[in-house]
Structure 1
């Protein structure tokens, strides 16, 4: 069962149980409780079940944002330097081609 089909399977099971005489409200409460229990277990396995987890996640998001900004800035700086070097080589080539060194003598 995948995450996308989980809701459909749950709805079918609840409809089947309701057809067999089970109380739909009780079934919904059981499904909600099972979902919360599963989420709590998953967070505990990830080490995110304590009170400081929200702060930790906020810090991680901030750190990730700073990393992305630094990476973007580094790429921009590298491209700018490559363009400057290419421009300098182009100007040196033009100066050589046009005889600028002879003009200086």
Structure 2
């Protein structure tokens, strides 16, 4: 269980001074947070038994998207390197008169 925040501790202290038992108050807080979490999941459409499968599927989809982005980035970089190196080799071949391209226009 997490440590309660300072404001939560203040509420518990104040409730204790007013006669509410700490244990009762913590049970109320725990129940309220559980209901709040359940409501938030329901608002997101993740309250049913398929929710964990949906989240697993979304995580797999997101990982696939990230892998695809990495792969595309690598492919683009390889093509840029190939174009630059090919241009350099062609330039050297023309400079060394190993290749004659003739007038451009």
Report the TM-score, using the length of structure 2 for normalisation.
0.88
Q: In the alignment, what sits opposite 2:44?
A: 46
Structure 1 unpaired stretches of 5+: 1-5
Distance in structure 2 (CA, Å) of the matches to 1:101 and 1:42:
70
**Which deviations, in whole Å up to 9, do the C-alpha atoms of 1:62-88 show, x marking residues without a partner?**
010011001100100010011001000
Q: In the alignment, what sits opposite 2:12?
A: 14
Q: In the alignment, what sits opposite 1:70?
A: 68
Distance in structure 2 (CA, Å) of the matches to 1:7 and 1:101:
76
Distance in structure 1 (CA, Å) of the matches to 2:43 and 2:5:
24
Distance in structure 2 (CA, Å) of the matches to 1:65 and 1:16:
47
Q: Does 1:27 align with 2:34?
A: no
Report the TM-score, using the length of structure 1 for normalisation.
0.88
Identify the structure with the greater helix proportion: 1
Distance in structure 1 (CA, Å) of the matches to 2:27 and 2:99:
88
Q: How many residues align?
A: 97
